Amino acid sequence: MGFKKDFLWGAASASYQIEGAWDKDGKGMSTWDHLTEKPGAIYQGHTGKVACDHYHRYKEDIALMKEMGLKSYRFSISWPRILPDGIGKINQAGLDFYSDLVDELLANDIIPFPTLFHWDFPYELYLKGGWLNRESSNWFAEYTKAVVERLSDRVNHWFTLNEPQVFVGLGHITGEHAPGLKLQKRDIITIIHNVLLAHGKSVKMIREFSKLEAKVGMAPVCNVFIPADNNPRSIVAAREAMFSNNNGEHFSGWSNTWWLDPVYFGEYPKDGLLEAEKYLPPTWKEDLKTISQKVDFLGNNHYQGSYIKADEKGNPEHQRPEIGEALTGFNWRVTPEGLYWGPKFLYERYSSPLIITENGLSNKDWVSIDGKVHDPQRIDFTHRYLREYKKAAEDGVEIEGYFHWSIMDNFEWAFGYKERFGLIHVDFNTQKRTIKDSGYWYKKVIESNGENL
């Protein structure tokens, strides 16, 4: 037993990273449009104003997806392209673009899998306080309704939020990402609660207004802790690290349980409440009824994990990286076992079917003299990770899909166009696309349903 017959093999992208057309056809400004105007904020002053020009080239891109044999495509919808002011008047041209995108995907037998929020927050709502404003959950619900009413006659798979830990942490704690803020703990706890409330209200909107029977989830990035050896004590220690509130550190908002327990159990974890409860709004217990709307699957963006052993007292102890360990172009650790232990631990705790919503690596890719893009590191990386994911399925973890990050090279946030994650190479000067060796390798994996791994 490995991957089930209807397993969703796909690749992923995000609107701001590929679409371009940043102010075309009535689109409003996002906080990422705003941040790229700040000198020094983005590598070499890069912006997403053109990016991969997917807005104008989506048919060409979908043809390449078809050539690669993708069964599904996870893309995100730009909130300010639908509602230029974040709320109020709907921009029909924006909805038309995504409607046409969905039609083109379906015409090529590719299942559309939209994510409602992948970080391009409307600038006009940022001026109203952004996620700090409790009304943000109602703003997001209004936006959700507009999208679902237009697309749900053809779309029945949805993600609400992508990597909320990151857009909160890097966007509001360190200031590396949009909107570029460095807030205090009180504000961060308020934002997290509002974001979770937005997720819950979005799920309710999808259920209420979807024309097709909807399947809904969220796509967090989960901290994955891997047993450093097969000692049962190490396994227990890794599981404990995975589900403790920041592994004993002070509250920072990166805890798996602080984000997921409210969704699945309708409660915040006790070890987090010890520090955070005093900052939660008076309505927080009542809000949990909305936050804990039933979801159908748990997405997980996974790139790297940390190795854990038990110390003399049985407590989790982080293992220092080995000298000369394998690193990606982004200097992220290569830890394939994370795609076994992460899904295993998450499934044990939440009993929810899992989808890997992002997995891949930044690599130093270029077009070779023969006109091809040879990226053996990406093939080896993906092969190693998928073998572990397949092992998780064989051990009883219910998994429904895998989305490689990313479908094409794109705007990598604060790193601009420096990092290349794509299965398709993009020449950002000419917009020429070239499927990499890894894209053709992935096609064979899809054709065999992972049996060739």
Residue type, 121: F
Residue 317 pLDDT class (50, 70, 90 cuts): confident
- Give the residue from 272, 240, 259, 251 showing the smallest Cα distance to 184: 251
163 flagged as catalytic: yes
What confidence tens digit (pLDDT) does each residue in 104-125 have? 999 999 999 999 999 999 999 9
Q: What is the mean pLDDT of residues 320-343?
A: 95
Neighbours of 189 (CB within 10 A): 23
Beta strand residue intervals within 172-241, DSSP E: 215-219, 225-227
Looking up tokens 């009824």 gives: 289
Neighbours of 132 (CB within 10 A): 16
Mean pLDDT of the chain: 96
The catalytically annotated residue of 19, 104, 337, 358 is: 358
User: Is residue 405, in this structure, part of any structural domain at all?
Assistant: yes
The catalytically annotated residue of 19, 163, 337, 419 is: 163
Residue 250 pLDDT class (50, 70, 90 cuts): low
pLDDT at 246: 58
Q: What is the mean pLDDT of residues 21-32?
A: 98
CATH number of the domain residue 161 falls in: 3.20.20.80
Is pLDDT above 70 for 308? yes
- Give the residue from 12, 31, 9 showing the smallest Cα distance to 22: 31
User: Is residue 264, in this structure, part of any structural domain at all?
Assistant: no
Residue 228: both structure tokens together: 């450093």
Annotated binding-site residue numbers: 17, 118, 162, 303, 405, 412-413
Query: Which residues span the domain enclosing 68?
Result: 8-221+282-302+329-447
User: Is residue 235, in this structure, part of any structural domain at all?
Assistant: no
pLDDT at 247: 47
- DSSP 8-state class, residue 160: E
Neighbours of 266 (CB within 10 A): 14
Per-residue DSSP letters for 320-365? PPPTT--B-TT--B--TTHHHHHHHHHHHHH---EEEEE----B--
124 flagged as catalytic: no
Annotated binding-site residue numbers for substrate: 17, 118, 162, 303, 405, 412-413
Distance CA(97)–CA(20), nearest Å, equals 13
Q: What is the mean pLDDT of residues 295-299?
A: 98
pTM of the shown model: 0.97
What confidence tens digit (pLDDT) does each residue in 208-238 have? 999 999 999 999 999 999 999 999 999 999 9
* Percent with pLDDT over 90 in the chain: 93
Cα distances (angstroms) measured from residue 21 to each of 36, 81, 95, 144, 150: 15, 10, 14, 22, 21
User: Is residue 168, in this structure, part of any structural domain at all?
Assistant: yes
Residue 1: both structure tokens together: 């037993």
Contact (Cβ atoms closer than 8 angstroms) between residue 177 and residue 166? yes
What confidence tens digit (pLDDT) does each residue in 55-114 have? 999 999 999 999 999 999 999 999 999 999 999 999 999 999 999 999 999 999 999 999
User: Is residue 309, in this structure, part of any structural domain at all?
Assistant: no
User: Is residue 207, in this structure, part of any structural domain at all?
Assistant: yes
Overall number of domains in the chain: 1
User: Is residue 263, in this structure, part of any structural domain at all?
Assistant: no
Residue 48: both structure tokens together: 């997403």
Query: What's phi and psi for 215, nearest 5 deg?
Result: -120, 130
Cα distances (angstroms) measured from residue 397 to each of 52, 338, 351: 36, 14, 9
User: Is residue 249, in this structure, part of any structural domain at all?
Assistant: no
